Structure 1
């Protein structure tokens, strides 16, 4: 595998986490306008993406490989928890 192939492999591994984090950040800013007024979109996206990345790594360690439904459930939880925390407790 060439270095470019390895880079694309890693980018595609973590793309669902960052894509889901972007969609959830947009939903938070759109649905909870008053509560999320003080939060920047990039902060929501960054924390959600970081949590999703950590969840993917944890799923790989715990489950052995990517693509299991439990891993995707962990990904959703990893993206949602930081954004929920920021919306509920960090104002």
Structure 2
């Protein structure tokens, strides 16, 4: 499940990618296929790069997630059915 920060980052990327994709679709519909496909590819590339690229500013967040995941692991419950 994505956190609130990831959702905000995706929203910011979509603010830039959606107008390019819409303009690309309009260009494809009007017959200028090369420019339209280029804009659509740019929009898809923006979203993919934002999702997969790790920036140096993201490293502390990744480390914090890993530490929290290690600290909050659930221990196995006591098995009371083995006792006489």
TM-score w.r.t. the length of structure 2 is 0.35
Higher relative contact order (CA closer than 8 Å, sequence separation 6+): 1
TM-score w.r.t. the length of structure 1 is 0.34
